[in-house]
Amino acid sequence: MLQVPFIRKNKEDVISRLTKRNIDASKMIEDVILFDEERRELQTQLDNTLATSNSLSKDIGNLFKSGKATEANALKEKATQLRDDSKNLTEQLNTKVEALNQLLYKIPNVPHSSVPAGNTDEDNEEIFRQGDIPKLHKNAQPHWELAKKYDIIDFELGNKIAGSGFPVYKGKGARLQRALIAYFLDKNTAAGYNEVQVPHLVNEASGFGTGQLPDKDGQMYHATNVEPSLYLIPTGEVPATNIYRGDLLDESQLPQALTTYTPCFRVEAGSYGAHVRGLNRLHQFDKVEILRVEHPKRSYQALDEMVNHIKGILEELKLPYRILRLCGGDLGFTAALTYDFEVFSTAQNRWLEISSVSNFETFQANRLKLRFKNNDGKNQLCHTLNGSSLALPRVLAGILENYQTEDGIQIPEVLVPYTGFDRI
């Protein structure tokens, strides 16, 4: 969440930049400043009351030592009143702090200056394109038809077991899925990302830490038959980033770079139609994630490094792709700047999003209380970054569709050592 001192110092700029998200945040920002002033006043009153109470306690002790019990007992009534006042002020302060935090939780991150204005994904800015779109044979099919033809992904069986949006990968389809996971992890670890295996359920504090709660509460599967309740993860970003929740790192420990493979679970699978058929949108899917905890001075350099890393993977897979800079209206709640990668599906004649790479600046770190001690001995909030490297369903869809031939599906050369076969 945004820091209150930052809001107070940059009120007009914050309001102005949030308009890129098509939000009029002026009322919320004014309320934040008002609540903070009230919080400060209550804190001052509490500090003064506690100071007076402590001083009075010393006076009472000295009077008793001096044999002046009558005077000491007279002051004890005042001391009791001060303790009651302190209790009431503490309760008021806690209520005000909670109200302030609840308001801050509703305010999204301030977009970076390079974020274009816009309302929908149609306003996103294409900044890069690579790869030739293949020319397919006349009987080319979308991946859901290929999956059925070669018996490698069974959507109907998944529907029988769990419902729509839960496919079953079979035979060479399962092997190809596993090969992609291993390949992505190997590429990430070779680039310096430390691999971790993380829980697939998280507590409420973890959801708040990375900003999924309360913003995406309705999009997460919620296990309420345990105490405390747990959430199935919508992305590996949530548990992996929360590894650092509450940490105070030394500046020499930065950057931190992790990669993780997890299944991901999302309640909302979208509308009906060809654009969400097959692997295009699922309730459960696999994803390999990369994340970084960075010094604020180099986080945008790190973002560029992450973008270039994902470029390299897609170029090895020889898939046609493009990169978009998301407009304010399409920007995620927690992100300051996001680049989306999209692979072109020739069989569907459309672009498929396969990765988002974001810099959250201090937005997540403030929620996580993730700090580092700089060389001057002062504590600073870290910057956090995250990216899909990569989300599997649409990468797999792109491979099946773009690599299809009249007598089967070729396997990208870089994946053959992982699959053990070069054709389906």
Asked whether the beta carbons of 372 and 249 are under 8 A apart, the reply is yes
In tens, the pLDDT along 330-355 reads 999 999 999 999 999 999 999 999 99
Percent of the chain at pLDDT above 70?
98
Our CA angle for 119, 123, 129, nearest 5°, is: 150
**Would you say the pTM of this structure is higher than 0.85?**
yes
CB atoms near residue 164 (< 10 Å)? 14
Q: Which long-range contacts (CB under 8 A, 24 or more apart) does 35-38 make?
A: 35/96, 35/99, 35/100, 35/103, 36/4, 36/8, 36/100, 38/96
pLDDT interval class at 65 (50, 70, 90): confident
pLDDT interval class at 270 (50, 70, 90): low
Give the mean model confidence (pLDDT) for residues 190-213. 97
- Segments in 197-342 forming alpha helices (H): 204-210, 237-241, 299-317
**Does 266 appear as a known binding residue?**
yes
Q: Which residues contact 402 (CB under 8 A, 6 or more apart)?
A: 134, 136, 319, 320, 343, 344, 345, 346, 347
**Does 356 appear as a known binding residue?**
yes
* Strand pairing report for 379-381 and 284-294: unpaired
Q: How many helices and strands (H and E) does the chain possess?
A: 13, 18
- What is the token pair recorded at 281? 């949108």
Give the mean model confidence (pLDDT) for residues 350-363. 97
Q: What is the DSSP string of 340-371?
A: EEEEEETTTTEEEEEEEEEEEETHHHHHHT-E
Asked whether the beta carbons of 325 and 346 are under 8 A apart, the reply is no
SS3 assignment, position 297: helix
**Does 268 appear as a known binding residue?**
yes
Residue 66: predicted pLDDT: 81
pLDDT interval class at 68 (50, 70, 90): confident
Q: Which residues contact 125 (CB under 8 A, 6 or more apart)?
A: 116, 324, 325, 327
pLDDT interval class at 141 (50, 70, 90): very high
What's the DSSP call for residue 411? P
- The answer to whether residue 271 scores a pLDDT higher than 60 is no
Give the mean model confidence (pLDDT) for residues 120-129. 96
- What is the token pair recorded at 383? 């910057």
Q: Which residues contact 384 (CB under 8 A, 6 or more apart)?
A: 241, 291, 292, 293, 294, 360, 363, 364, 365, 368, 370
Give the mean model confidence (pLDDT) for residues 377-385. 97
- The answer to whether residue 75 scores a pLDDT higher than 80 is no
**Does 323 appear as a known binding residue?**
no
- The answer to whether residue 272 scores a pLDDT higher than 70 is no
Give the mean model confidence (pLDDT) for residues 183-198. 98
- What is the token pair recorded at 19? 């308009």
**Does 355 appear as a known binding residue?**
yes
**Does 354 appear as a known binding residue?**
yes
User: Mind listing the domains of the chain with CATH numbers?
Assistant: 4-105 (1.10.287.40), 121-419 (3.30.930.10)
Give the mean model confidence (pLDDT) for residues 367-378. 95
* Strand pairing report for 201-202 and 230-232: antiparallel
pLDDT interval class at 58 (50, 70, 90): confident
* Strand pairing report for 371-373 and 248-250: parallel
- The answer to whether residue 265 scores a pLDDT higher than 60 is yes
What are the strands, taking DSSP E only, across 48-167? 125-130, 153-154
In tens, the pLDDT along 19-48 reads 999 999 999 999 999 999 999 999 999 999
Query: Which range among 249-258, 268-277, 314-323 shows the weakest confidence by mean pLDDT?
Result: 268-277
Residue 414: predicted pLDDT: 98
Give the mean model confidence (pLDDT) for residues 370-399. 96
Percent of the chain at pLDDT above 90?
88
Q: Which residues contact 344 (CB under 8 A, 6 or more apart)?
A: 131, 133, 319, 320, 321, 322, 350, 351, 352, 398, 402
**Does 66 appear as a known binding residue?**
no
- The answer to whether residue 421 scores a pLDDT higher than 70 is yes
For residues 233 and 353, give the distance between their C-alpha atoms in angstroms, rounded to a whole number: 20
**Does 164 appear as a known binding residue?**
no
**Does 379 appear as a known binding residue?**
no
